[in-house]
């Protein structure tokens, strides 16, 4: 065990040792009661790295009476699934005839591999526990989802990570055999630096201990500086290719729409820090300028489009400044979605109603002979009238009186 990473050695062995995720495994919660009663059905554990998905699966295996088998979706194929099922069904090797099959990173299984699981999940041969960092409703077969309980795990709270770090410092299975001097403030900083990922926190603590020289009394002193170097860089809870990609861009746009420049630029910074494509960010700001700012400040679209062109020309890291300007400008502008609502309603009408024919007097009549059929006949040229406007019908007869553009108080045009 001493050769195993600290994060592995400190995995809980029972539900009572499990720290955090009280919203799903508190003693009065359904999952806790289900596990204790050994009445578990298939579940999908969904959450960010280091939140305890694998540990929870292992705890479940220790608590229940079923054989526990594990596959990793990165390295396993259909043949591995079939071998696991065959072993689970072998009454000599598994008298209960059932097993818990834990599949880590289940979102990496393709449709064929996921379909191979279905009959055995359906008939109860295996109780599936799938772990994924991606949104299972997007990445996992709907048939599997319908047969499983989806459980959302959250990033661990700082106080949870502090508790686990303190346990690791005291436990003989952890770092309890070392003489370690570390302040509460340093432990607090490690917990904060980890960004809710307990694996990052434990790995950082272990690196700090193993790479720091003992003093003459055999004491290893871990300072803030040593801890920071061991953790290297604050973990960002944001995978630009995963579900958090959509959550973060949604938060940025909604912050712009809500006229909160601080929140908008914060989510912009998260995206940039995670390596998001700056042109993608610029395009989203352009869309927001038209959808959310609209005619309350038409210049927002000019600024946003100019920013997109500049980002494409300049590139990172300077593009961050351009993105920030466009993002903040949109956020502090007055807002109107009148044109957004107008086009949506018009599209709904033309796709679902009999809207009639274009009035003859505003139809195109490029050839003189067409006028005898009424094309362009009776059209009034607005510039020939005072104020460059004249009363005449433009909508088809069936749509006369329909209103699409409803200006609000922020539009001053």
Scored b (16 or more CB within 10 A) or e, 350-367 reads: eeeeebeeebebeeebee
pLDDT at 51: 85
Q: How far is 150 from 139, CA to CA, in rounded Å?
A: 13
Strand 67-72 to 126-132 pairing: unpaired
Between CA 408 and CA 404 the distance in angstroms is 12
CATH number at residue 167: 1.10.8.60
Of 178, 209, 231, which marks where a domain is finished?
231
Q: Which domain covers residue 48, as residue numbers?
A: 21-152
Considering the domain architecture, whether residues 103 and 206 belong to the same structural domain is answered as no
In a domain, 293, yes or no: yes
Residue 340 lies in a domain: no
What pLDDT does 296 receive?
95
Domain end residue (candidates: 137, 152, 167): 152
Is residue 51 situated within a structural domain?
A: yes
Q: Does residue 364 fall inside a structural domain? A: no
40 and 107 within one domain: yes
pLDDT profile of the chain (413 residues), mean per 10:
79 83 80 77 86 85 78 82 78 68 85 83 83 84 86 87 92 88 90 84 89 88 87 57 75 95 94 87 95 95 95 89 96 95 93 89 76 81 92 92 90 75
pLDDT for 2: 61
User: What per-residue confidence (pLDDT) applies to 252?
Assistant: 94
CATH of the domain at 25: 3.40.50.300
Residue 187 lies in a domain: yes
Among 129, 152, 175, the domain-final residue is 152
Are 47 and 63 part of one and the same domain? Answer: yes
- In this prediction the pTM is 0.62
CB atoms within 10 A of CB 33: 13
Block residue for tokens 């094309």: 375
Residue 242: per-residue pLDDT: 57
Residues 308 and 262 in one domain: yes
Asked whether residue 201 falls in the same domain as residue 173, the answer is yes
d(CA 114, CA 98): 19
Cβ–Cβ under 8 Å, residues 133 and 105 = yes
Which pLDDT score is estimated for 95? Answer: 62
Residues 113 and 31 in one domain: yes
Q: Give residue 20's pLDDT.
A: 84
CB 325 within 8 A of CB 268: no
Total structural domains in the chain? Answer: 3
* C-alpha to C-alpha distance for 127 and 90, rounded to whole angstroms: 16
Q: Is residue 174 part of a domain?
A: yes
- Within a domain: 313: yes
Do 35 and 90 lie in a common domain? Answer: yes
Please give the torsion angle defined by the CA atoms of residues 17, 18, 23 and 27, in that order, rounded to the nearest 10 degrees. -30
Residue 102 lies in a domain: yes
The residues, any chain, with a CB within 8 Å of residue 11's CB and separated by 6 or more, are: 54, 55, 58
Element (H, E) at 54: helix 53-63
Coil vs helix vs strand at 409: coil
Give me the pLDDT at residue 382, please: 92
CATH number of the domain that 318 lies in?
A: 1.20.272.10
pLDDT of residue 349: 92
The predicted pLDDT at position 385 comes to 92
């Amino acid at each position: 065990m001493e050769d195993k990473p600290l994060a592995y050695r400190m995995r809980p062995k029972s539900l009572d040792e499990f720290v955090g995720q009280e919203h799903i495994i508190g003693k009065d919660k359904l999952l806790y009661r289900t596990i204790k009663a050994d009445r578990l059905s298939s579940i999908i554990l969904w959450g960010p790295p280091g939140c305890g998905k694998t540990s929870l699966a292992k705890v479940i295996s220790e608590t229940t009476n079923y054989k526990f088998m594990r596959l990793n979706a990165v390295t396993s194929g259909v043949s591995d699934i079939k071998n696991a099922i065959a072993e689970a069904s072998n009454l000599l090797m598994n008298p209960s005839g059932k097993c818990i099959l834990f599949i880590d990173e289940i979102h990496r299984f393709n449709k064929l591999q996921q379909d191979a699981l279905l009959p055995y999940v359906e008939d109860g041969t295996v109780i599936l526990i799938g772990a994924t960092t991606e949104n299972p409703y997007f990445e996992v077969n709907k048939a599997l989802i319908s047969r499983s309980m989806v459980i959302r795990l959250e990033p661990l709270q700082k106080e949870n990570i502090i508790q686990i770090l303190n346990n690791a410092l005291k436990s003989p299975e952890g770092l309890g055999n070392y003489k370690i001097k570390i302040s509460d403030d340093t432990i607090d900083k490690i917990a904060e630096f980890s960004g809710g990922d307990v694996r990052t926190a434990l790995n950082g603590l272990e690196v700090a201990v193993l790479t720091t020289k003992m003093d003459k009394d055999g004491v290893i002193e871990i300072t803030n500086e040593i801890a920071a170097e061991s953790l290297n860089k604050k973990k960002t809870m944001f995978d630009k290719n995963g579900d958090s990609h959509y959550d973060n861009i949604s938060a940025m746009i909604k912050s712009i729409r809500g006229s909160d420049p601080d929140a908008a630029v914060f989510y912009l910074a998260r995206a940039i820090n995670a390596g998001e494509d700056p042109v993608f960010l610029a395009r989203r700001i352009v869309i927001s300028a038209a959808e959310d700012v609209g005619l309350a400040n038409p210049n927002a679209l000019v600024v946003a489009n100019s920013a997109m062109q500049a980002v494409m020309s300049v590139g990172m890291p300077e593009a961050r400044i351009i993105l920030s300007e466009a993002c903040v400008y949109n956020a502090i502008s007055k807002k109107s979605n009148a044109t957004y609502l107008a086009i949506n309603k018009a599209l709904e009408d033309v796709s679902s109603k009999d809207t009639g024919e274009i009035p003859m007097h505003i139809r195109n009549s490029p050839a003189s002979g067409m006028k005898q059929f009424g094309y362009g006949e009776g059209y009034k040229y607005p510039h020939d009238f005072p104020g460059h406007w004249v009363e005449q019908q433009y909508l088809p007869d069936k749509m006369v009186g329909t209103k699409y553009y409803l200006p609000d108080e922020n539009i001053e045009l």
